A and B are shown apart, each in its own frame.
Chain A
Amino acid sequence: MRNGSGSAPTVGDEYSSRVAVTVNGTRRELTLDNRTTLLDALREHLGLIGAKKGCDHGQCGSCTVLLEGRRVKSCLILAVTLDACDVTTVEGLAGPDGLSPLQEAFVAHDAFQCGYCTPGQICSARGVLDEAARGWPSAVTDDLTGPVRLTDAEIRERMSGNLCRCAAYPHIVAAVRETAGTP
């Protein structure tokens, strides 16, 4: 048995693995200790520090990224499981012409204060918009088989996996509401 996570992994070590993962459209090959979470792979190995480490236990949402286009908590995903997968972080949301409409709305509505939770909020909101567009109901949807309208109550429920200790929630809801239906 080995302890600690400080030793550098080497190829052939049965406790580490080679992983090829596409991040923000670019294929990246890494050799990682099997214990490495996706969050740590992004931040410590790929220099992508947009996704934040808040609680590191799946409770705060600041590490939210998109995996195969679906929002997930990167602190609870082991990078070794992601060979041949596609990851989008907040750094990958902007297009060649600048920020996405969702990101612009966060700026326009002042939907943050300290900004620590913001990358996770934005990635989660991207997921919310896509899930609503697919007609997925939520816990506050009255008619499970009817169309989905992103009311404020729906947005609050769907964004409940992202905490903001500055309590910018009303502005976050406004930014998501304004962006509904945009790419």
Chain B
Amino acid sequence: MRAFRYRRPADVDEAVALLDADPEAAYLAGGTNLVDLMKLGVQRPDLLVDVTRLPLDTVETLPDGSLRVGATVRNSDLAAHPVVRRNYPVLARALLAAASGQVRNMATTGGNLLQRTRCVYFQDTGKACNKREPGTGCAARHGQNRDLAILGWSEQCVATHPSDLAVALAALDAVVEVAEVGGTREVPLVELYRSPGEHPEQETTLPRGALVTAVRIPPLPAAGRSAYLKVRDRASFAFAVGAVAAVLDLDAGVVRDVRLAYGAVAHRPWRALRAEAELRGRPFTPELAGRAADVELEAAVPLAHNAFKVPLVRAITVRALTEPAEAAA
């Protein structure tokens, strides 16, 4: 591992200034991904700015009913929060389906959103990877790509985003609060991420040095009936092969509102807007859910080893929507 300096800033302004002053600096939160990548030689910061002791570790309900989650709230604490368990089961389920108990105790909200892909070629410095080293090629494109993208990929990168939390937050229309030099900004979570295109090394729309300070989840009464379904290669402690977050609001059996997002299929959490449009205003049936998934997945272009993901995502879409529909009936 490359040697690095270590700083623990007193406040957000100092943290942002430290990053801004050093192009090779990185923020350190839970470390569950970054420390591993440093051991692998994939990330080689010369300065770590430890943000875990900044006062960003609270969950609060705002006057408008939104839930504001501080960036350093640990995944386990968020999953156990009474409001999350009661009002946003899709969020609690996504968190609890991720990693292991130990990792959830360490990993933070902000760090989870900005974790890097688990594409094995990205994590292996002996392999070509445009994300890790722009211009070197993509060994995954014609390599072992069973776990990788079916939607929105490019010839330069077929990696997927690994977060479960981000998929639930995409379905919930969450907004990310960000601090940067000279001010703050707010970014809808789905616009935080980029498609790989020509520049897979650029993963977010944030400027360098920006610090996620909180995530805001708008009030969504229908989210009380929501589901997160994750398919993985073993029963627990594994990344998704496919995942879906679903919020369904029925009025006398008719879809009044619906939110759908997919995980492990693209470079970003995939909000399924076409499927939502197909569902809205129609009497809910499992057959309708399947047709909606088909509409969304028309855009899918499987790689050599992952065509199975298309019917898999279709199947879990039906299941994830039928579950809250039956609970409402």
Residues of chain B whose beta carbon lies under 8 Å from any beta carbon of chain A: 1-6, 8, 28, 31-32, 35-36, 39, 46, 48, 50, 52, 76, 79-80, 82, 85-86, 89, 92-93, 96-97, 99-103, 105-106, 235-237
Partner of A15, one of B5, B28, B82, B101: B5
Partner of A76, one of B48, B50, B106: B106
Q: Is A58 touching B36 in the complex (CB atoms < 8 A)?
A: yes
What is the bound-complex CA distance between A5 and B4, given in angstroms? Answer: 11
What is the bound-complex CA distance between A128 and B235, given in angstroms? Answer: 18
Listed by A's residue number, 28 A-B pairs whose Cβ atoms lie within 8 Å are: A2-B2, A14-B5, A15-B5, A34-B5, A37-B35, A61-B100, A71-B102, A71-B105, A76-B31, A78-B6, A78-B35, A81-B8, A81-B28, A81-B31, A124-B102, A127-B101, A136-B76, A137-B80, A137-B85, A138-B96, A144-B89, A144-B92, A156-B236, A159-B101, A160-B101, A160-B235, A160-B236, A162-B100
Least distance between B98 CB and chain A CB atoms (Å): 9
Complex interface: chain A residues within 8 A of B85 (CB): 137, 144-145
Give residues of chain A (1-40) contacting chain B, Cβ–Cβ below 8 Å: 1-3, 5, 14-15, 17, 33-35, 37
Give residues of chain A (51-102) contacting chain B, Cβ–Cβ below 8 Å: 56-58, 61, 64, 67, 70-73, 76-78, 80-81
Is A139 close to B, CB under 8 A? yes
* Residue among A15, A128, A144 with the highest chain B CB neighbour number at 10 A: A144
What is the bound-complex CA distance between A76 and B28, given in angstroms? Answer: 12
List the 3 closest A-B pairs by CB distance, nearest first.
Answer: A161-B100, A160-B236, A160-B237
Complex interface: chain A residues within 8 A of B39 (CB): 56-57
Q: Is B36 touching A1 in the complex (CB atoms < 8 A)?
A: no
Q: Is A15 touching B86 in the complex (CB atoms < 8 A)?
A: no
Partner of A137, one of B8, B96, B237: B96
0/1 per residue, A117-129, Cβ < 8 Å to B? 0000000100110
A127 in contact with B3 given A37-B35, A78-B28, A137-B80 (CB within 8 Å):
no
Complex interface: chain A residues within 8 A of B96 (CB): 137-139, 141
Q: Is the interface of A mostly helix, strand, loop or mixed?
A: loop
Q: Is B236 touching A64 in the complex (CB atoms < 8 A)?
A: no
Q: Is A128 touching B101 in the complex (CB atoms < 8 A)?
A: yes
Complex interface: chain A residues within 8 A of B99 (CB): 161
Partner of B3, one of A15, A141, A159: A15
Partner of B102, one of A2, A5, A57, A127: A127
Residues of chain A whose beta carbon lies under 8 Å from any beta carbon of chain B: 1-3, 5, 14-15, 17, 33-35, 37, 56-58, 61, 64, 67, 70-73, 76-78, 80-81, 124, 127-128, 131, 134-139, 141, 144-145, 156-162
Least distance between B246 CB and chain A CB atoms (Å): 16
Q: Is B3 touching A33 in the complex (CB atoms < 8 A)?
A: yes
What is the bound-complex CA distance between A90 and B102, given in angstroms? Answer: 15
Least distance between A154 CB and chain B CB atoms (Å): 11
What is the bound-complex CA distance between A117 and B298, given in angstroms? Answer: 47
What is the bound-complex CA distance between A124 and B104, given in angstroms? Answer: 13
Least distance between A17 CB and chain B CB atoms (Å): 6
Complex interface: chain A residues within 8 A of B35 (CB): 37, 76-78
Q: Is A58 touching B236 in the complex (CB atoms < 8 A)?
A: no
Q: Is A71 touching B101 in the complex (CB atoms < 8 A)?
A: yes
Q: Is B5 touching A131 in the complex (CB atoms < 8 A)?
A: no
Q: Is A78 touching B3 in the complex (CB atoms < 8 A)?
A: no
Least distance between B243 CB and chain A CB atoms (Å): 12
Complex interface: chain B residues within 8 A of A35 (CB): 1, 3-4
Complex interface: chain B residues within 8 A of A5 (CB): 1
What is the bound-complex CA distance between A181 and B165, given in angstroms? Answer: 31
A139 in contact with B36 given A77-B106, A161-B101 (CB within 8 Å):
no
Q: Is A72 touching B105 in the complex (CB atoms < 8 A)?
A: yes
Partner of B86, one of A131, A145, A157, A160: A145
Partner of B93, one of A33, A80, A139: A139
Least distance between B29 CB and chain A CB atoms (Å): 10
Complex interface: chain B residues within 8 A of A70 (CB): 76, 105
Q: Is B3 touching A34 in the complex (CB atoms < 8 A)?
A: yes
What is the bound-complex CA distance between A9 and B232, given in angstroms? Answer: 43
Complex interface: chain A residues within 8 A of B2 (CB): 1-3
**Which residue from chain A places its CB closest to the CB of B31 in the assembled complex?**
A76
Complex interface: chain B residues within 8 A of A2 (CB): 2-3
Complex interface: chain A residues within 8 A of B4 (CB): 15, 34-35
**Which residue from chain B places its CB closest to the CB of A163 in the assembled complex?**
B237
**Which residue from chain A places its CB closest to the CB of B106 in the assembled complex?**
A72
Complex interface: chain A residues within 8 A of B6 (CB): 17, 34, 78, 80-81
